[in-house]
Amino acid sequence: MLDYLIIFFNEVYKILFLLIPVLVSVAMIVWLDRRVWAFVQKRRGPNVVGPFGLFQSLADALKYIFKEIIIPASSNKVIFILAPIVTMTLALVSWAVIPFSEDYVLADINVGILYLFAISSLGVYGIIMGGWASNSKYPFLGAIRSAAQMVSYEVSIGVIIINVLLCVGSLNLTDIVLAQQKLWFIIPLFPMFVIFFISALAETNRPPFDLPEAEAELVAGYQTEYSGMMYAMFWLGEYANILLMCSMGSILFLGGWLSPIDLYPFTLVPPPIWLIIKILLLFILFSLIKAIVPRYRYDQLMKLGWKIFLPFSLIWVVITASYLFYFNLLPVN
């Protein structure tokens, strides 16, 4: 009995050791997001609450905690309450398979990439539940848009991942990183990295693809009827998903925790720090695009996903497979 308790508390400790930094990181990247926008637009951004405005996200979180949660009288109350919980939970459980080094990963499963793809696909359910349960036309339109958008771009992301898997021969995320010890996949698969990055913007409803919550058209989309901590849970899930997509991009194309230069003093930097640096660089690109690129129309969004990205990704799979086969480079496992 004591052995089972020790195992249980050990697993709980590892889960908390992963989730608490993720939750703290979400608060920090919101601050970074706003600072990047301010830099591009030549204004100050958060700079009052705490040094350099670092505690602004904490102040916002406290505000959400003490705000009243209003549930519309005509809504489906059970699903209305469950929607943000589903969104936040799915965003956090995805981190279980992200390897921060060869030894530190919560669940080093052989099908890690499939696990990530499955969980990220389920994320749309929280948005649909919130939009439908609100019993209001604007949230419902936002939820429908999000469903169509996420399905469209997940197809492209799935095809892009096939290119990486052809080069590695494994669905394990640790194996994918270790396969890039000599050459990061961003070099031979650069077009796929670009498409993955743009698809990740659409997958996470980030500008210029933030059609599900386009303020000028749908007020706040599927979140219109939410307030207080329930709104904050949607917000938390959204930013956790953004960080997850940045970590996926780092692992699939940028060598994960591997150092860019295998020389002193670069080798002294702990592996998890390299992964965090790469995630932050990708996130800064996310922020810059929000500050610079105007929003797409919905028909342009669908055209880009189905008529451009999907055919190009399929053609690149054929090119990658043909090249590896012709030069006898296909991995043997």
Q: How far is CA 314 from the centre of its chain?
A: 23
Residue 213 pLDDT: 67
Tokens in use for 43? 């204004």
Residue 332 pLDDT: 67
Residue 11 CB neighbours (<10 A): 11
Tell me which residue has tokens 């109350």.
77
Q: End-to-end CA distance of the chain: give it in Å, rounded.
A: 40
Task: State how far the Cα of 228 lies from the Cα of 65, in Å rounded to an integer.
Answer: 6
CA R_g for the chain: 21
Task: Answer yes or no: is 56 within a domain.
Answer: no
Average pLDDT over residues 237-255: 90
- pLDDT tens for 250-299 read 999 998 888 888 777 777 888 889 999 999 999 999 889 988 888 888 88
Task: Answer yes or no: is 310 within a domain.
Answer: yes
pTM for the whole structure: 0.90
DSSP3 helix / strand / coil % (the chain, rounded to 5): 70, 0, 30
More confident site: 235 or 250: 250
Task: Answer yes or no: is 20 within a domain.
Answer: no
Task: State how far the Cα of 299 lies from the Cα of 315, in Å rounded to an integer.
Answer: 23
Mean of all residue pLDDT scores within the chain: 85
Task: Answer yes or no: is 261 within a domain.
Answer: yes
- pLDDT tens for 182-196 read 889 999 999 999 999
Residue type, 217: E
**CB-neighbour burial class of residue 74 (10 A; exposed 0-12, middle 13-18, buried 19+):** exposed
More confident site: 141 or 9: 141
Residue 271 pLDDT: 86
Q: Is the pLDDT of residue 225 over 60?
A: yes
Task: Answer yes or no: is 49 within a domain.
Answer: no
Task: State how far the Cα of 301 lies from the Cα of 286, in Å rounded to an integer.
Answer: 17
* Residues sharing a CB contact under 8 Å with residue 134, sequence separation 6 or more, in sequence order: 72, 75, 80, 140, 222, 224, 225, 226
Average pLDDT over residues 294-320: 89
Sign of CA dihedral 249, 251, 252, 253: positive
Residue 319 pLDDT: 93
Number of domains in the chain: 1
Residue 322 pLDDT: 92
Residue 279 pLDDT: 93
Q: Is the pLDDT of residue 333 over 70?
A: no
| Containing structural domain, residue 265 | 67-326
Task: Answer yes or no: is 18 within a domain.
Answer: no
Tokens in use for 25? 């990181």
- pLDDT tens for 1-57 read 667 777 767 777 777 777 788 888 888 888 888 899 888 888 888 888 888 888 888
User: E strand or H helix at 270, and its extent?
Assistant: none
- For the range 298-301, what are the long-range contacts, defined as Cβ-Cβ under 8 Å and sequence gap of 24 or more? 298/145, 298/211, 301/149, 301/152, 301/202, 301/209, 301/211
Q: How far is CA 119 from the centre of its chain?
A: 11
> What does the CA dihedral 64, 69, 72, 73 come to, rounded to 10 degrees?
-170
Task: Answer yes or no: is 29 within a domain.
Answer: no
Task: Answer yes or no: is 61 within a domain.
Answer: no
Q: How many residues does the chain have?
A: 333
**CB-neighbour burial class of residue 285 (10 A; exposed 0-12, middle 13-18, buried 19+):** middle
Task: State how far the Cα of 88 lies from the Cα of 44, in Å rounded to an integer.
Answer: 30
Sign of CA dihedral 291, 122, 236, 12: negative
* Residues sharing a CB contact under 8 Å with residue 259, sequence separation 6 or more, in sequence order: 266, 267, 269, 271, 274
Residue 74 pLDDT: 83
